[in-house]
């Protein structure tokens, strides 16, 4: 389920970024919209997995903590 301020919910394979003060890359592993759950991996700056999170609530805490990764070229 998408947050009201965003166009779409996280999708498996997408990269998200944790919001300050911690900046970690987050790879979405699975989303269960029916149950409102998300599984993801937190990666450090070198791409190493710091933690795997399984079936966490896709709630306001998720939307406050993570933002879609906006890739910029040029």
Q: Is 60 exceeded by the pLDDT of residue 72?
A: yes
DSSP single-letter state for residue 59? S
53 domain-assigned: yes
2 domain-assigned: no
8 Å CB contact between 18 and 65? yes
Mean pLDDT of the chain: 88
74 domain-assigned: no
57 domain-assigned: yes
Which residues neighbour 37 within 8 Å (Cβ) at sequence distance 6 or greater?
A: 31, 55, 56, 57, 58
pLDDT in tens, 5-39: 565 789 999 999 998 888 899 999 999 988 999 99
| Sheet with 49-57, side-by-side order of all strands | 49-57, 37-43, 25-32, 15-18, 66-68
Q: Is 70 exceeded by the pLDDT of residue 58?
A: yes
73 domain-assigned: no
Tokens of 39: 């599984």
pLDDT of residue 30: 97
pLDDT of residue 9: 83
Q: Is 90 exceeded by the pLDDT of residue 55?
A: yes
For the chain, how many structural domains are there in total? 1
């Amino acid at each position: 389920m998408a947050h009201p301020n965003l166009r779409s919910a996280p999708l498996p394979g997408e990269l998200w970024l944790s919001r300050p003060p911690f900046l970690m890359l987050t790879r979405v592993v699975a989303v269960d919209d029916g149950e409102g759950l998300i599984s993801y991996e937190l990666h450090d700056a070198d791409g190493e997995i710091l933690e795997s999170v399984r079936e966490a609530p896709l709630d306001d805490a998720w939307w406050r903590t993570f933002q879609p990764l906006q890739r910029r070229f040029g």
